[in-house]
Amino acid sequence: MDIEGISQTLYKEKNQTLKTIPADFYREAEKYIRELEKEISKINNPRSPESKMLNDEHERALSDLETIFMKRIGKVITRATIQSHADKPISKDIEKLLPAEKLLYDLVLQGIEAAKVELLGPILYPDSGKTARWPCVWSSKQAPAPDHPEAKKGEEITASAEGNENGIDTGKNNINEEYVVVRVLKDLPTFTGADGRNYTVNAEDVVVLPQLNATGLIKRNAAKLIAAGDKSSEEKISEKN
């Protein structure tokens, strides 16, 4: 894995066709990023041409990897949305998904069905008595589908929505697992987060960001992680929200 391999993958993902990528694509990308960081630390001179070149490569690689991720996630959600209106499988693209992407696909399908039952059900089928079953997200890397009997053995990181049959308490997603609090160190252009929301942040803003985006900004020295319990930071977040 190198910057060219990442760039080629990004180029292939620019259209709406879902491409097959190696099962170890992200693991190999992680190794490559760690090696870059080791090389940068060995130089120990951020002003040297070699260090600048490696830092530029590092930043470009992180940016491209995030873009690849978001493009593929967008395709997964689009296909799940289309499938929700069909009576039978409509695409073989599902075979091209990585395990985590396939889990997301299944969760989106279940979420759409649950929303349809909860919102449209009383209108279209007033006497059916059908109850929406909202999916849960599990932390296991090989977690079964949320409606699988073995799912309860996993560690829950996101509560299901209110009104679910499992009776799980609802609320915001576990911020320690999916989101982090950071202080932004420079003005940034509006970007789309891993959660699909658009973020516009400026220097010195203290914000809650998806962990993936926050990690990328921290590695690029564009943000700093805020420790939990920092009252001044919490006050700033409240003001922004």
pLDDT, one tens digit per residue, over 2-54 is: 999 999 999 999 888 889 999 999 999 999 999 999 999 998 787 889 989 99
CATH number of 218's domain = 3.40.5.50
Structural domain includes residue 120: yes
In a 3-state reduction of DSSP, which class is residue 167?
coil
pLDDT for res 95: 87
The stretch 156-181 carries a mean pLDDT of: 40
Is residue 133 included in any domain, yes or no? Answer: no
Please list the alpha-helical segments (H only) found in 140-225: 175-178, 211-219
**227 confidence band (pLDDT: 50, 70, 90):** low
Q: Is 2 exposed, middle or buried (0-12, 13-18, 19+ CB in 10 A)?
A: middle
Asked if residue 166 is part of any domain, the answer here is no
Same domain, 113 and 194: no
For residue 101, is it within any domain? yes
Mean pLDDT over 84-111 rounds to: 84
In a domain? residue 155:
no
Residue 116 and residue 14 share a domain = yes
CATH at 92: 1.20.58.1030
The whole domain housing 115 covers 3-124
Percentage of the chain modeled with pLDDT above 90: 27
Q: Is the pTM of this model over 0.95?
A: no
Torsion of CA 14, 18, 23, 26, to 10 degrees: 30
